[in-house]
A and B are shown apart, each in its own frame.
Chain A
Amino acid sequence: MQQIWLITGPPGCGKTNWIRETLLNHGGTCAYLRLDGSTKEGLELGHNAGIDQSWLRDQIPQLQDLSDPAPSSQLSSDDHLVLIEAQQFSAPTPSAEGLDPQITQQLQQFNLTPDRTLHFGVDPELPKQDTLDFTKLEAWHLDLQGCVWDPNSLSSFWFELVNGAYGDVYRAKALMNMPDGRSFFCNWMVSQSGSQFLPLQSVVPPTGRPNRPSHLVIQGKGLIPAGIRSTINDCLLSDDVLELQQAPLREQQPNLQPTLPTPA
């Protein structure tokens, strides 16, 4: 039997992490969809850059991405779980499940009707996170496709970013490429202690610039995009430096092949 659940909550409450755990524990087939969510005056949505999709597909290779228009036979299989993620700042009201009309409209576009709606900060089934009540929120994002970071510079930049050097950042997440072919899911929320730097299972050979999603998404107040861009430019490796770092890796491991995620 197919189940469709809608998971909502404010930025950084742990929606994607909870979805990952739930999908990993689910015995049957599964699918995922990230909606743009609902916006309000003064509250900007984080750009849907595909970070969550990429991260979940790396962790759960058999996961079906419902935003992918290619049809899949999995939808009709038994024990199929569809989890839909949407950012919604306010908790739903008891009547009509409190779904924001913007989200309802997005669901209609995909012809999906949730069997259940769970909102972080309201439903006891979800972990009790520090869900923040935002009154004002700016969003900024940067496409970093093909960019490769100097690892120590990324560490310094991230430290400055989440500690307020470029405005009051409440939420930051990214997929960042390293010169050795790894990619890291970087995740930070003001209400949580510390950042997550989680390596993707998929590793590409160190042969130039990787062709996979890489993006930085930030939400906060008084953000300073010019400062962020300037620092990022100082952190990214040029072609020459990248080759200088990758050549010894290729010599050490001449038969390097791409490492693909192992199905759970």
Chain B
Amino acid sequence: MAHAVISCLHANLAAFQAVLDDIDQQGIKTITCLGDLVGYGPQPNEVVELVRQRAIPTCQGCWDEDIIDGLNACECSYPSQLAERRGHHAHHWTADRLTDDNKAFLAQLPTTLRRDKLLFVHGSPNSQHEYLLPDMNAFAALERVETAGAETLFCGHTHQPYVRELSGGSIRVSVQQRGNEQASEQEMTLPMRRIVNAGSVGEPRHGSTKATYVVHDDNTGDVSIREVDYDVAKTCRAIVEAGLPDVFAWRLSHGFEYAERAEDASHVCER
């Protein structure tokens, strides 16, 4: 059975509707969402309500968390003062407009979802704020999947879709019990693990304006990355009409993220 995994909607209703249409046209009934329903985009309530209406199982993203808990991430979340100011502007704009009912919905979202050996998170099993980049150290990547007890880890947050297979992994541990005793050694060979990043529906960062998501076949394990055209100009008009900075519309229309990633993408904020 095929199921769709979507992430990082970022209050972009036109993109979300186009992705849902694409999923529906394939006859896919199961959808999992990896969070960041809101943030930067102009339609936070509409997107949250559509997720609720479709009863899509959803993890909490970093933006969803911040809207509820307030801005308390450390400043290293942003690579520049400009990105920080824009992020804060978008945060306050969203927090002011999101209804209490929708905030309550975001607040009760789980940080992880699990289905058998499939684990669904926003950033990583450790934090909604951690980026699992495609070129992350293989051992660290394998550690994230293995310690979470998953065979396939679905994540988002980077806005760059990818499928990474981690095979041939082995861990050897040598433990010195007492000073004069021979060290005991244990070696574990790990079966193949996978990290699947769903990209972003509402704020693509893969060099194109198209919305991205992934389809996973539970039977065969096949994963396909889908790119979907949507009415970018419509969302851009909504950004300007909503009073968000015009430059957000320009960035979206050119396939640039609203704010760049932090310089040290592996950094996890101490909150």
Whether B82 and A150, one on each chain, are in contact in the complex, defined by CB atoms closer than 8 angstroms, is: yes
**A235→B79 CA distance, assembly (Å):** 12
Size of interface on B: residues with Cβ below 8 Å to A: 15
Whether A157 and B251, one on each chain, are in contact in the complex, defined by CB atoms closer than 8 angstroms, is: no
Q: Which residues of A contact B82 (CB under 8 A)?
A: 150, 152-153, 156-157, 231, 234-235
Whether B251 and A165, one on each chain, are in contact in the complex, defined by CB atoms closer than 8 angstroms, is: yes
Whether B81 and A163, one on each chain, are in contact in the complex, defined by CB atoms closer than 8 angstroms, is: no
**A163→B81 CA distance, assembly (Å):** 20
Interface string of A158-180 (1 = CB under 8 A from B): 00100111100000000000000
A160 and B250 contact, Cβ closer than 8 Å, known pairs A230-B245, A234-B86: yes
A155 contacts B by Cβ under 8 Å: yes
Distance of B217 from chain A, by nearest CB (Å): 40
Whether A150 and B81, one on each chain, are in contact in the complex, defined by CB atoms closer than 8 angstroms, is: yes
B24 contacts A by Cβ under 8 Å: no
Whether A165 and B81, one on each chain, are in contact in the complex, defined by CB atoms closer than 8 angstroms, is: no
Whether A227 and B81, one on each chain, are in contact in the complex, defined by CB atoms closer than 8 angstroms, is: no
Distance of A221 from chain B, by nearest CB (Å): 16
Distance of B218 from chain A, by nearest CB (Å): 42
A112 contacts B by Cβ under 8 Å: no
Distance of A202 from chain B, by nearest CB (Å): 25
Size of interface on A: residues with Cβ below 8 Å to B: 19
Q: Which residues of A contact B165 (CB under 8 A)?
A: none
A235 and B254 contact, Cβ closer than 8 Å, known pairs A160-B247, A165-B247, A227-B247: no
Distance of B241 from chain A, by nearest CB (Å): 16
Query: Which residue of chain B has the shortest Cβ distance to A156 in the bound complex?
Result: B82
Query: Which residue of chain B has the shortest Cβ distance to A233 in the bound complex?
Result: B85
**A148→B247 CA distance, assembly (Å):** 22
B21 contacts A by Cβ under 8 Å: no
**A155→B80 CA distance, assembly (Å):** 9
B231 contacts A by Cβ under 8 Å: no
Whether B83 and A156, one on each chain, are in contact in the complex, defined by CB atoms closer than 8 angstroms, is: yes
A237 and B81 contact, Cβ closer than 8 Å, known pairs A156-B260, A163-B254: yes
A241 contacts B by Cβ under 8 Å: yes
Distance of B263 from chain A, by nearest CB (Å): 8
Query: Which residue of chain B has the shortest Cβ distance to A236 in the bound complex?
Result: B81
Kindly identify, within residues 196 to 255 of chain B, every residue whose CB is under 8 Å from any CB belonging to chain A.
245-247, 250-251, 254
**A75→B263 CA distance, assembly (Å):** 52
Q: Which residues of A contact B246 (CB under 8 A)?
A: 224, 227
Q: Which residues of B contact A156 (CB under 8 A)?
A: 80, 82-83, 260
Please list the residues of chain A having a beta carbon within 8 angstroms of any beta carbon in chain B: 150, 152-153, 155-157, 160, 163-166, 224, 227, 230-231, 234-235, 237, 241
Closest 5 CB pairs of A and B: A152-B80, A153-B82, A150-B81, A234-B85, A153-B80
Q: List 10 A-B contacts (CB under 8 A).
A: A152-B83, A153-B82, A160-B251, A224-B246, A231-B247, A234-B82, A235-B80, A235-B81, A235-B82, A237-B81
